[in-house]
A and B are shown apart, each in its own frame.
Chain A
Amino acid sequence: MIKRFLALALLAGIGVIFVALMMSYVPDANLNLTARYYAENTASETGSANIVTAILVTYRGLDTLGEVTVLFLASSIIGLVLSLGNKQNKTLRKLVPVGELLTTGKSYLAPIIMLLGVYVFVNGHLTPGGGFQGGAIIASGMLLLLLSDPLKHFSHALISVVESMSGFVYVSLGVLGIVLTGSFLDNRILPLGDFGDLISAGAIPLIYSLIGLKVGAEFSSMLANLSEMEDLQ
């Protein structure tokens, strides 16, 4: 009882700070200086119609590289921690029989889901979308395949090869940007093209496709590792 009262008192204190922050906040009427630069110069400098994509891939590309590194760390730590420990108590998991709807539906739905994922990250510079969303959709397709066949083993070697190769090509594209234009992850190594076409905005579709493949492979390896855990009593 006393612990609950203390927790409520702490939350009331934090709530007072939040209310003070909210009362002193006045929404802007015009864009601030950074947003004004992005609004005026994105279309002419990078050729991409989606400003959020242009910021993520070219203007703040180094932060995206850091985030992809954090995801890679999380996925490899999960694979490492789950393979440690004693393996002698391998109890046979009692399998629930998978219904007919799932086994037939997966052969129709899984290719369409993968196609939607590829469409979302290839068109990242024209419509809302991009690498992270496309990678998550691809991982959902792999999850459907995992759920409909619980005994199937995915080859971890294929997933890790896809992930490593896309990461390596992504960093080497960045270094190519230094060699050809003088700044890391510049998208002007390929020609900019017409505004609004599919093949435009330089290297942004290429970089975002690599990010999408890498993120999708990382989520899939996380899910494959988690589905091979043993039952604990």
Chain B
Amino acid sequence: MTYIAMATGFLLILIGFYGVLTNRNLLRMIVAFTIANSGINVVIIAIGYMHGRTAPILDATVSAADALTRIIDPVPQVLVLTAIVIGVGVTALMLVFAYKLYERKGTLDIAKFTELKW
């Protein structure tokens, strides 16, 4: 199961990067970034999974005494929790900048933004 989820995550990252490299509409590139973000999160969670064990929450099924043998690694989940929230903040910023560029130039084609080329 670990390998299936990890392969899915890696393929999502590759599909997202392909979308960024080939599209020319700015909004489509931002959608492809979102897909790559989801892929990275899937890969990190797939690393922490161990076969036959359950979620790191101590309740009626897993008591505090035998937690050592029954739960999976909790640290990757903490990292991914932070990463998801920061990802949505970065996506909102990218969308606002795309709106401002459209207001200034009237187009969303990135081949038209040539001020920084020499």
Contact = CB atoms under 8 A, between A and B. Distances in A.
Interface string B92-107: 1101110110110000
A55 B73 contact: no
Interface in B48-100: 49-51, 55-59, 64, 67-68, 71-75, 77-78, 81-82, 85-86, 89-90, 92-93, 95-97, 99-100
Contacts of B95: 226
B7 A67 contact: no
B116 interface: no
Interface residues of A, number: 54
Interface of A: 3-4, 7-8, 10-11, 14-15, 18, 22, 25, 27-29, 31-32, 34-36, 38-40, 42-44, 49-52, 55-56, 60, 63-64, 67, 70-71, 74-75, 77-78, 81-82, 85, 126-128, 132, 195, 215, 222, 226, 229, 232
Given A31-B71, A229-B99, A232-B99, 14 more contacts: A10-B21, A22-B3, A22-B10, A34-B75, A36-B68, A40-B67, A43-B58, A51-B56, A55-B74, A55-B78, A77-B93, A81-B96, A127-B59, A232-B102
Interface of B: 2-3, 6-7, 10, 13-14, 17-18, 21-22, 47, 49-51, 55-59, 64, 67-68, 71-75, 77-78, 81-82, 85-86, 89-90, 92-93, 95-97, 99-100, 102-103
